[in-house]
Amino acid sequence: MRSRFQKGQITRDDLFIGEVLKRSGIITEFQLKMALDAQREILLQKGKAVRLGQVIVDLGFATEADMIRTINKEYQISVTSLSDDIRERLSQKYGAYFERLPQTRLPMWLQMAVATTFIVVVTVITLSLVVLNQQKERLYDQTVRLGMVSLNYFANNAPIPLLEDDIVRLNTLIKEAARVEGLRYALIVGTNHLIKAHTDINLIGVPFKQFVEGPKTTVKDDVTYYNYNRPDGERLLDLYRTISFKDKVLGEVHVGISLNFIQELVLQERISVILVTLATILVGLAVAVIYGFRFSNPISQLERATQEIAKGNYQYHVPVKRNDELGNLGNAFNRMGQELWKNAMTQKSFGKYVGAEVLDMILANPETAWLKGMRNDASILFCDVRGFTSFAANTSPEQVVEALNAYLEIATRVIIKFGGYIDKFIGDAVLGVFGVPVFRQDHVERAVRAAIFLQEELMRASRAGNPLLSAVGISIHAGPVVAGNVGSQSKMEYTVIGDSVNIASRLNTFAGAGEVVVSRQVMETMGTMIEAQTIGPQSIKGKAEPIEVFKVLRLQTRSEGNE
């Protein structure tokens, strides 16, 4: 972990804790950024790695108990301290899944291809089963009708030869019927159960026996029929009916028709269906892939655009070449990006004037009451450069601006670091406020620590040759102020006003270069934490009674606090 900090990096645990706290509303995005900046600053200044959670506690953004309770509640773990390895606890509870990257998704074109193939296959199989079964039933019915035609022909022409026992005429009759395609046999049985005529002359005179024992028969119009399999495997339909003359039974006629051709026709149809299915699948796959790419490409472009927007690249443009819903979506996305860019530019520019923390509160709820004015206790920090007028008179404008900006940059960074905000720049003076708009109980201590740290930073930076940095005097006063929006409809400013602000400004007269002076109110609040030298009661403009002023010598060492 230490090697990571030495490289200026933030550990995954720190980022994890920060995101959880921000998502749960314990801290704001602005406070998370401040905490991360403070963490890096501690590393640079002291070479010491401090956990982000501890920094958040030290800055007063949240208590350790609140953070631990939030993490335990959200992830159902038992963390007792911020020093615990939270990620390890999560890995133990949820296993390797916690560390796993999201699974790769199937591209849309492939999903469409699979879906299309599935639909085609199911549809074709269903239709083929229905159609082939219907066709099979129709062919069977036609075979039955064909057999009945042959059977009736024999039954109508066989009575006279049977009465006369004319075996030749009976066999001639059978022989003519044998020419029918698919007819495997035809035979006439007499009343004595002997075969009188048969397509196979070798069976004439042989006793007749049923082809199967106890067949399941069907009767239709005096014709009985059933299916059976011959020893060679051929499936036959046997139809038979009685031969009668004037209600006298003379015998029985049988016709056997092959059913194998039905199976052959169905098989051929199935092969055709399979070929058609394969062709349809190929066409469907081609169409699905084409349309899949046609629909997935714009969505992929929108996904990339979303990632760019998330990175802050609001000017990323989605190429739109379609005149449909996806094209409209692309145009809407581009308009959204432009609006976000405008808002970001407005926020960025506006934030330079009101401060990021105030800006976050304005954007979160622009109609909130505190913007309209409220009274609160605050600490006012006032910085001013000694001898700036003389410096500006004897230095080129470019050098003056460069030196002044360096001073204002350091002052802004330090004040924000300790939880204050920049109310305004007044020439070479800086007005910083602690305790509003976000009230903190320790606003006085924050202001004093910020002032001492600021003088240290200015002295350190002055070694580079900027004379303004070593000539700054700082004054602090604490008391009630009125904070809110002040101005007109065309120009508004969030600021603090009141006697406390005026006193802090007047006290700055008694602060020499590199010094920090405070009022009696600040001294009483700080107590033993501060060591100071009294300057004595001083008369200031606008106050009837003298104000007691103290010059800060040092701050007592305790926990590192906000530093």
More confident site: 87 or 404? 404
* Residue 554, burial from CB neighbour count under 10 angstroms (0-12, 13-18, 19+): exposed
Query: What was the pLDDT predicted at 339?
Result: 78
Average pLDDT over residues 192-206: 88
Q: Please, where are the H alpha helices in 316-442?
A: 325-354, 356-364, 388-393, 397-417
The 10s digit of each residue's pLDDT in 443-456 is 999 999 999 999 99
List Cβ neighbours of 196 (8 Å cut-off, separation of 6 or more): 162, 165, 167, 170, 188, 189, 190, 204, 251
- What is the reported pLDDT for 368? 57
Q: Is 355 left (phi over 0), alpha (psi -120 to 50) or beta?
A: left
Specify the pLDDT at position 2.
38
Residue 6 pLDDT: 39
pLDDT at position 321, please? 75
At the fourth CATH level, which superfamily is domain 129-265?
PAS domain (3.30.450.20)
Q: What angle do CA 424, 550, 439 make, to 5 degrees?
A: 45
- The contacts of residue 499 (CB under 8 Å, 6+ apart) are 479, 480
Query: If you average pLDDT over residues 473-489, what whole number do you get?
Result: 88
Query: What is the CB neighbour count within 10 angstroms for residue 209?
Result: 8
What's 368-555's CATH class? Answer: alpha beta
pLDDT above 90 for 506: yes
Helix axes 64-75 and 12-23, enclosed angle (nearest 10) = 90
Please report, as a single letter, which amino acid is at residue 138: R
The distance from CA 462 to its chain's CA centroid, rounded to whole angstroms, is: 50
Query: By percentage, how much of the chain surpasses pLDDT 90?
Result: 25
Same fold, 129-265 and 368-555: no
Average pLDDT over residues 481-487: 84
Rounded Cα–Cα distance for residues 21 and 71 (Å): 8
Residue 37: in which H helix or E strand, if any? helix 29-46
The pLDDT of residue 562 is: 42
Whether this prediction's pTM lies above 0.85 is answered by no
Cα–Cα dist 329/7, whole Å: 43
Domain boundaries, the chain: 1-104, 129-265, 368-555
Count helices and strands (H / E) in the chain.
17, 14
Q: In the structure, what pLDDT confidence band is assigned to residue 346 with cuts at 50, 70 and 90?
A: low
Residue 507 has pLDDT above 90, yes or no: yes
DSSP state of 107: P
Quote the CA–CA distance of 139 and 173 in Å, as a whole number. 27
Give the closest residue to 63 by CA, choosing from 443, 440, 453.
Answer: 440
Q: Does pLDDT of 25 surpass 90?
A: no
Angle at the Cα of 299 from the Cα atoms of 295 and 303, rounded to 5 degrees: 165
Model confidence at 267: pLDDT above 60: yes
Give the DSSP H or E segment for 282. Answer: helix 260-310
7-16, 38-47, 214-223, 419-428: least confident range:
7-16
Model confidence at 414: pLDDT above 80: yes
Q: How confident is the model at residue 232 (pLDDT cuts 50, 70, 90)?
A: confident
